[in-house]
């Protein structure tokens, strides 16, 4: 696909970008590998975290400017874009302050002698990243790997090239040497060749299940480690003792944030039968109150989808769900009187297990509502999914919440809050939602050599 900036609010082409040829790819690999072998990567961590401190300051000082880049290119509401830029600054600062502590040697008690584990960089990390959080996804890979000494090469999504280019310039402005972070506008075939290259020692992908399977297979074929953060079909469970006003409001926000284009967005709403009618009524009212419009307008509460193709995909999914017996409770159609990529906020009910919608991820403002009789049914339905990324529980009984959270098969569970993110908390899933973790202390150790050293005990 061509690398183009098309404003999803009006579908106007803003700019096309030149792709990188194989010679340029080789130059990028050579430069990144040379940097990995240098004192920059192998020497004192303080020189690397200094760059992260500066990067954090740069992004924090340009929130409005950078947010407008995101909103114009992929349609995110301007307030949410500002939040994305700020979390990027927070992540850079977090690793700037914590990386040295996370990577310090860890002693182990052993009868064999004095033993410890050191943490060393491994080389070039190839990252393939999506469009829905065009700065945040990049920072999640860059910050821990730059701190640990790995070089990062990135293929960003073809619909956010301006964000990709902007982020690379920010990293360079923060003082990172050439090769520490390289953006490439390349094809899938070129990505495969990079993964095959001996200088590349790890692969990180955030994206679709299909893309993850392809990339992970390629990496495995070369015996290289990969981390995958893929799709989700997250549950939003409301128990019979929950604050329904709070749950309905939070649920609506959790479904339509970023126009529903979030891997951890609430997608399957599992409601206890005693409060189902009340919840659905209030939930629907929040959907009815949404205002579609220009994402740069502060009064807009639902922006466009990222592309015309996204609208086509979502329309087909909703139509197929209804054909197979789902009830269209609210919405359900593309907005036809607007040149942008707008889709009505939508609620589907009465979805049975033989409906394809039951197992699909809807990447847009489409909610599925299910009704259960008890906690046992809730857990069974929640876990009857190919995915296992995040989830939310709303209840006033914390003992009940702890028990249920432990039973739900996901990488993350939030109680009385939509699934969220923070630099200090690990992010990732199980099943077809992928493997490995990003952020926190876990994320920085995914692509390091955890080397054991033993000084033999005197005999």
Task: List the catalytic residues.
Answer: 229
Angle between helices 188-196 and 209-221 (to 10 degrees): 30
Contact 441, 143 (CB under 8 A): no
Question: What is the C-alpha separation between 303 and 306, in angstroms, rounded?
Answer: 9
Of all helices (H) and strands (E), which one includes residue 435?
strand 434-435
In sequence order, what are the residues at sequence separation of 6 or more whose Cβ sits closer than 8 angstroms to the Cβ of residue 152? 32, 124, 125, 127, 141, 142, 145, 146, 180, 181, 182
DSSP-derived secondary structure for 68-91:
HHHHHHH---HHHHHHHHHHHHHH
For 351, other C-beta atoms within 10 Å of its C-beta total: 20
Of 255, 425, 220, nearest to 330 (Cα)? 255
In terms of C-beta density within 10 A (0-12 exposed, 13-18 middle, 19 or more buried), how is residue 208 classed?
A: middle
What is residue 357's DSSP assignment?
G
Sheet holding 113-121, edge to edge: 106-108, 113-121, 448-456
Pairing type for strands 113-121 and 448-456 reads antiparallel
How far apart, in whole angstroms, are the C-alpha atoms of residue 74 and residue 341?
10
Pairing of strands 151-155, 124-128: parallel
- DSSP character string of 206-235: ES-HHHHHHHHHHHHHTT-EEEEE----EE
């Amino acid at each position: 696909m061509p690398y183009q900036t098309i404003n999803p609010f009006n579908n106007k082409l803003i700019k096309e970008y030149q792709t990188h040829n194989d010679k340029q790819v080789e130059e990028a690999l050579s430069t990144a590998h040379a940097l990995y072998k240098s004192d920059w990567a192998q020497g004192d961590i303080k020189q690397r975290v200094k760059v992260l401190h500066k990067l954090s300051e740069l992004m924090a000082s340009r929130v409005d400017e950078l947010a407008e880049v995101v909103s114009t290119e992929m349609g995110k509401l301007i307030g949410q874009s500002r939040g994305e830029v700020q979390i990027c600054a927070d992540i850079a600062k977090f690793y700037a302050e914590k990386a040295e502590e996370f990577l310090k040697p860890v002693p182990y008690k052993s009868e064999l002698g004095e033993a410890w584990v050191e943490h060393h960089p491994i080389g070039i990390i190839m990252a393939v990243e999506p469009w829905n959080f065009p700065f945040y996804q990049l920072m999640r890979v860059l910050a821990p790997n730059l701190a640990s000494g790995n070089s990062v090469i990135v293929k960003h999504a073809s619909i956010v090239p301006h964000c990709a280019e902007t982020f690379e310039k920010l990293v360079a402005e923060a003082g990172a040497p050439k090769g520490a972070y390289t953006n490439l506008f390349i094809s899938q075939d070129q990505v495969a060749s990079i993964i095959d290259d001996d200088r590349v020692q790890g692969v990180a992908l955030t994206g679709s299940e299909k893309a993850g399977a392809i990339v992970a297979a390629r990496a495995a074929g070369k015996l290289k480690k990969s981390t995958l953060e893929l799709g989700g079909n997250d549950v939003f469970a409301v128990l019979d003792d929950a604050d329904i006003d709070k749950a309905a409001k939070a649920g609506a926000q959790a479904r339509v944030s970023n126009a529903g284009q979030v891997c951890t967005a609430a997608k399957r709403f599992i409601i206890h039968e005693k409060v189902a009618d009340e919840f659905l009524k209030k939930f629907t009212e929040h959907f009815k109150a949404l205002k579609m419009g220009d994402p740069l307008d502060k009064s807009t509460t639902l922006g466009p989808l990222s592309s015309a193709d996204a609208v086509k995909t979502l329309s087909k999914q909703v139509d197929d769900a209804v054909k197979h017996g789902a009830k269209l409770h609210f919405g359900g159609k593309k907005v036809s009187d607007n040149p942008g990529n707008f889709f009505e906020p939508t609620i589907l009910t009465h979805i049975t297990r033989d409906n394809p919608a039951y197992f699909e991820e809807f990447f847009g403002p489409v909610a599925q509502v299910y009704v259960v009789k008890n906690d046992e049914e809730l857990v069974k339905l929640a876990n009857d999914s190919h995915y296992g990324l995040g989830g939310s529980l709303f209840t006033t009984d914390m003992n009940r919440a702890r028990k249920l959270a432990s039973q739900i098969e996901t990488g993350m569970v939030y109680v009385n809050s939509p699934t969220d993110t923070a630099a200090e908390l690990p992010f990732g899933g199980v099943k077809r939602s992928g493997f490995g973790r990003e952020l926190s202390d876990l994320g920085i150790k995914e692509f390091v050599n955890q080397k054991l050293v033993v000084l033999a005990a005197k005999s």
